[in-house]
Amino acid sequence: MSSADDQSDAKGRLRAFKQQFRRLRKEALEKSHWAAERLLDRRVCIGITGLSGAGKSTLITSLIYQLSHPDRAQLPGFSPALNGRLLGADLYPALDTGLPLFEYERCLSALTANPPRWPESTRDLSALELHVHLQGRRLGRSYRQKLILEFRDYPGEWLMDLPLLRMDFATWCRQQADLLGAEPRAGLAPELLSHLRGLTPEAPADLQQIDSLWQNYRQFLRDCRSARKLSYLQPGRALLDSEEYGFFPLPGIGHRTQSELDALAEDSVYKVLEARYRRYVDERVAPFVDSHFRHLDRQLVLVDLISTLFAGEESLEDMRLAFGHIADTFRYGSNGLLRKLWHPRIDRLVFAATKVDQVLAADHDALRQLLGQQLQQVFSGARHRGLPLYCEAIAAVRCSNESVRDGRRLLVGHAMDGSYLGFENAEILAHLPQEGEWQHYTGGQPPQLRPPMGIGREGYMPHIRMDALLNLLLGDKV
């Protein structure tokens, strides 16, 4: 090799070294800024999820819009907005997460279309950074400060999979066997459930039969959600995508000991399903928890309590069951100085009942109390003491107004086809219905309303108690 070639190689290595050095220096600066922001309480990471149909995409869009347009925001209960300290907000990708940016513009375009429509449901992870600009005053002089909100958005169906981390396949089968043997699940697909009970764990696996049963079981999960408004459904991802996870519960394991199950042949029905279950937990659930939850400071969980309540006792009980199983999956505790950097814990958990514009304003407080009673039953154990737990009742976009007709107070709005509606629902009881009280809610589900015309862009985005929700999430930071 000539000396010229040697010099060229040396220059190439030097350029590569300089490029790598600049990249590492940039990353170090970014990390140092991130660390400083966390230590100074200027960065908060908030996880946002919702049980099926809770309107998560709409809520995130409303949050961004309200904070980004203080001149159009209606947030009298949020101190920075009321006092004129909220100056606006800028949206950025959450670069450090490696997650796709939440599609704010697409969601806002749906709400502001003519006619308006609801944004599509979230089917995967996304993230964003919202840099909120605030005005402060110190020693008689005003100054600007910035609070960085990192929102991490994930489907509520994924939340239902978190309890699988604490269960082996046999434990999950026994838990599911109890659920499948009781209403409302038992009556939804009796033929499928009969086939599942008839599977012998030690029998040689017929992969074609197993795959066929898996497709039927996936459809059964979807029917549980759509027909009966059930919440505790696993595997949760099967409700969203078309991947072939290929496992389902085996009610036929009965009281076999774990050693008896472990001794079965590798090609047995039990061992094939167990392997698929383990692969799902190891490759889907565990990585999601490791990459996502260890960053969260706060968690917001949205629930469509109104639809669940009007669906009946079994649906409400299933929601409470879901709350109970996910209660232990969050990392609870206070965020001390070092923990802010290395092992953040969720120090505030907020549940919000959505779509309260479907009931009269007089029922909003009763709905909030009902959600609170649900949560009290789940979070009353000693393991949850010290966790700040909050609940609220909101509408991210208000679609109805109240009117009086023939002495009766009604809700008025527009159906999805644009037709004008006037309706009333049963009064919301401020307590969990007792035996004999469920007939109070037998009048059917509230109608689905279309977003109102003229919101966003140049106008206001009407809502109910989004300012109260902002106080719960950020009140101590602003």
Mean pLDDT for 379-387 is 62
Q: What is the pLDDT of residue 31?
A: 47
Q: What is the pLDDT of residue 204?
A: 95
Q: What is the pLDDT of residues 107-160, one digit of tens each?
A: 999 999 989 999 988 788 899 999 999 998 776 678 889 999 999 999 989 989
338 has a pLDDT exceeding 50:
no
Partner residues linked to 126 by β-bridges: 153
Cβ–Cβ < 8 Å for 315, 228: yes
Cβ neighbourhood burial of 163 (10 Å; 0-12, 13-18, 19+): buried
Arithmetic mean of pLDDT over the chain? 86
> 3-state DSSP: the chain helix, strand, coil percent, rounded to 5?
45, 15, 35
Q: What ranges do the domains of the chain cover?
A: 42-158+298-474, 164-289
444 has a pLDDT exceeding 90:
no
What percent of the chain has a predicted confidence (pLDDT) above 90?
Answer: 59
For 263, phi then psi, to 5°, come to -80, -5
C-beta pairs of 437-441 under 8 Å, 24+ apart in sequence: 438/312, 438/313, 441/309, 441/310, 441/312
Q: What is the pLDDT of residue 127?
A: 93
Q: What is the pLDDT of residue 11?
A: 63
Mean pLDDT for 440-463 is 85
Query: pTM for this one?
Result: 0.85
Q: What is the pLDDT of residue 28?
A: 44
- The amino acid that residue 332 corresponds to is Y
- Could you please report the per-residue DSSP string of 248-279? ---GGGTT--HHHHHTS-TTBHHHHHHHHHHH
Cβ neighbourhood burial of 223 (10 Å; 0-12, 13-18, 19+): middle
- The amino acid that residue 163 corresponds to is P
Mean pLDDT for 67-88 is 92
